[in-house]
Amino acid sequence: MSNNRLIMIVIDALRFDTACSHMGFMQHLVEQGKVARYEVKSEVPSLSRPLYETILTGTPPFVHGVVGNGVIRLSTQESLFHLARRSGKKTAAAAYYWVSELYSHAPFRHGIDRIQLDKDAPIENGLFYFEDHYPDSHLFAEAQWLVSEKNPDFLYIHPMNVDDDGHKYTADSVQYRNRVLATDDLLAQTLPIWMDLGYDIIVTADHGMTADGNHGGNTMDDRHVPLFIASNKVKPIIQEQVVSQLQLAPLACHLLGIDPSEAMVPLLMPGLVDQ
């Protein structure tokens, strides 16, 4: 029976093919019948800030208006944080500061917004970093602190090191692939703990990364990302059908047991147990 609690992990710039070839622990969970694996096609432009907003609100850039990384303002949409709080659930985030700028305060105030503990805010407990090379290991430790000390119903985790190494060395590099291996190891250290606590888990990405060391375009390297789901509401098999990134927000609402916003598309993903 689901506890209607969810941890969503968005690994910045994780390509679908590299996730399949280099995330051995995640594939182990798939082979053991613990996790479902999907291929997701992101919205375009395949840029970070627009797709953070898409993942967390279920709306495309043309609707939410965050059409580039230079659009620095609060979201105009109802996010998963807003919806969860309205349903009486506790929220938390360990994430890049652009998430704070979308749902807490814009622009980000480095001396004030690094740690946000505000019971009246959409993100009730927020720990935000502002350097792309901020260690993912530190971020996962902070996420574990949030789980242990704040007991959120919805926790959003957003590591950046895969994206950082992709830009520095390209997706066709030892450094990028090794960073994906390192991220998989962090998941191996944390996911079993969180699953034992009764959390459903989503692991996905905002966009991919090209052999040019960039993203933003319309290629499979830019747009195709993984989606791993650990939940008794989802059949733990590999789904061959490519799904839209717009499905992630209504999926999260389904796993949390809350109503989606009116702006979200209907949840039509294959593999849901009760549909």
41: phi then psi, degrees, rounded to nearest 5: -105, 120
Residue type, 221: D
The pLDDT value given to residue 117: 96
Asked if residue 266 is part of any domain, the answer here is: no
For residue 213, give the CATH number of its domain: 3.40.720.10
Rounded CA gap, 29 and 36, in Å?
Answer: 8
Q: Percentage of residues in the chain with pLDDT exceeding 70?
A: 99
If pLDDT is split at 50, 70 and 90, which confidence band does 63 have? very high
The pLDDT value given to residue 3: 86
Asked if residue 84 is part of any domain, the answer here is: yes
Closest CA to 257 of 231, 220, 225: 231
The pLDDT value given to residue 1: 41
Asked if residue 204 is part of any domain, the answer here is: yes
The pLDDT value given to residue 2: 62
Rounded CA gap, 111 and 84, in Å?
Answer: 28
Condensed to tens digits (0 to 9), the pLDDT of residues 147-176 reads 999 999 999 999 999 999 999 999 999 999
Q: Which residue has the tokens 């109503």?
A: 259
Mean predicted confidence (pLDDT) in 97-122: 97
Q: Which domain holds residue 119?
A: 6-256
Note whether 79 and 102 are within 8 A (CB): yes
The pLDDT value given to residue 16: 98
Asked if residue 225 is part of any domain, the answer here is: yes
Asked if residue 1 is part of any domain, the answer here is: no
Asked if residue 268 is part of any domain, the answer here is: no
Mean predicted confidence (pLDDT) in 236-255: 97
Asked if residue 127 is part of any domain, the answer here is: yes
Condensed to tens digits (0 to 9), the pLDDT of residues 80-95 reads 999 999 999 999 999 9
Q: Cα separations (Å) of 262 from 59, 76, 78, 139, 250?
A: 10, 13, 9, 33, 10
Note whether 270 and 68 are within 8 A (CB): no
Q: What is the tally of structural domains in the chain? A: 1
Asked if residue 274 is part of any domain, the answer here is: no
If pLDDT is split at 50, 70 and 90, which confidence band does 179 have? very high
